[in-house]
Amino acid sequence: MEGDIPVLQARGKTAPEAWESSVLSLWEQGVRVKTEYDREGDEPSRDSTMVLVVEEPMAEPRIHLAFPGGIEELEKYRQEVLFGVHDHWIRPEEDKWTYTYHQRLSAYAPVADLSSSRVKSPFPPVDQVRYIIDKLAGSPHSRRAQGITWMPTADPATDDPPCLQRIWCRLIPTGEKGTGSRVQGSGETDAELALNMNTHWRSRDAYKAAFMNIYALTELQNWLAEQIGRKMGRKVAVGRYVDISDSYHIYGAYFKEFSERFLKLVKERPFEKRVWRTDDRRVQAAIQAARDELAKEKRD
């Protein structure tokens, strides 16, 4: 209806399939609307509310080739989100970052002013990632395993507040009808569990940021499943990943590049040629190079 932001849904077995489908449906069905980042002369952006489902988050191929970087950057971003390798760039007093997702999730401590990293919070930092692991390992039925990023005390006033708002996790038994009574095909009484994860995003650059986000967040889901499983002494599989964006958009400034590269290559190349597997020899070498570089940065 006129005046509504469309609510779109995209689904795929793998992350690249689901992401590509989401961007194509946004392009076809998104509403044309201005954003505060559109530059003079840019066309209005294409926007929607998007619900994106990845059925098997860790299934290969894992990498779509339409992201703005190399494999090294993707691996560094993965480590930024999971392990905080760029938390040292949180130095707003030098015009650098005001946060990272890792910092907000693993050391959430609301402050009233983000202009300096020296401003102290009245609250001790909360490790919400550790909480999710402990909560689900101790109470597998819990619906409270979540972590937030938003600081209403300070974020609204900043130039670049977090897009990711919340992650929510839940364990679901993989036994018959989800009751946990039986592992499928095994006859065992102690069911396997699958870690399902939802991520909620305020605003999202669908074309240039969303795929890297999805890659890193599904890696986080996989890591959380391993940690919970280790703590429980049980196997925890990776369940479906759901990614909900309030504003999922393609900026008008990207339309030329989007049409002349992305849409062209979607039309001209088969899907297998638009993706890479993480076990590809070339990809493995680039991942190792990124790891070596991060290790060197840490030593220096």
Q: 87 by DSSP, 3-state: which?
A: helix
Peptide bond into 6 cis (omega under 30): no
| Matching residue, tokens 């191929």 | 61
Q: Does 60 bind other proteins (CB under 8 A)?
A: no
- In sequence order, what are the beta bridge partners of 64? 275
The helix/strand/coil state of 219 is helix
Under the binding rule (CB under 8 A), the answer on residue 237 touching other proteins is no
Please give the structure tokens belonging to residue 87. Answer: 């938390």
The nearest distance, CB 16 to other proteins, in angstroms, is 12
> 41 — alpha (psi -120 to 50), left (phi > 0) or beta?
left
Nearer to other proteins, 65 or 237 (CB): 65
CB of 214 to other proteins, least distance (A): 15
Q: Strands 63-64 and 146-148, how do they pair?
A: unpaired
List binders of other proteins among 144-183 (CB under 8 A).
159-160
Instruction: State in angstroms the smallest separation of the CB of 160 from other proteins.
Output: 8
Q: Rule CB under 8 A: is residue 289 a binding residue for other proteins?
A: yes
Site for other proteins in 180-209 (CB under 8 A): none
Cis peptide leading into 61, omega within 30 of 0? Answer: yes
**Residue 226 exposed, middle or buried by CB count within 10 Å (0-12, 13-18, 19+):** middle
Structure letter (DSSP) for residue 95:
T
Q: Which of 4, 95, 272, 300 binds other proteins (CB under 8 A)?
A: 95
Determine the Cα–Cα distance for residues 3 and 47; give it in Å rounded to an integer.
12
Supply the minimum distance, in Å, between the C-beta of residue 256 and other proteins.
9
What mask of x and - would describe binding to other proteins in positions 23 to 42, judged by CB under 8 A? ----------------xx--
Residue 241 and residue 57 in contact, taking contact as beta carbons nearer than 8 Å:
yes
Q: Does 73 bind other proteins (CB under 8 A)?
A: yes
Residue with Cβ nearer other proteins (188 or 260): 260
Nearer to other proteins, 89 or 123 (CB): 89
Query: Can residue 215 be called a binding residue for other proteins (CB under 8 A)?
Result: no
Shortest Å distance, C-beta 273 to other proteins: 10
Of residues 4 and 159, the one with the C-beta less far from other proteins: 159
Length of the chain: 300
Is 63 or 220 the residue whose CB approaches other proteins more closely? 63
Least Å distance, CB 264 to other proteins, is: 5
Q: Quick one: residue 115, left, alpha or beta (phi over 0 = left, psi -120 to 50 = alpha)?
A: alpha
Amino acid at 114: L
Residues 6 or more apart whose Cβ sits within 8 Å of residue 269: none
How many residues contact other proteins, by CB under 8 A? 35
**DSSP one-letter string for 273-296:** GSEE-TTSHHHHHHHHHHHHHHHH
**Considering only residues 18, 66, 81, 236, which one is a binding residue for other proteins as defined by CB under 8 A?**
66
Name which of residues 255 to 284 contact other proteins (CB under 8 A).
257, 260-261, 264-265, 268, 274, 276, 281-282
Contact status: 97 vs other proteins (CB under 8 A): yes
- What residues make contact with other proteins under the rule CB under 8 A? 39-40, 63, 65-74, 86, 89, 94-97, 159-160, 253, 257, 260-261, 264-265, 268, 274, 276, 281-282, 285-286, 289
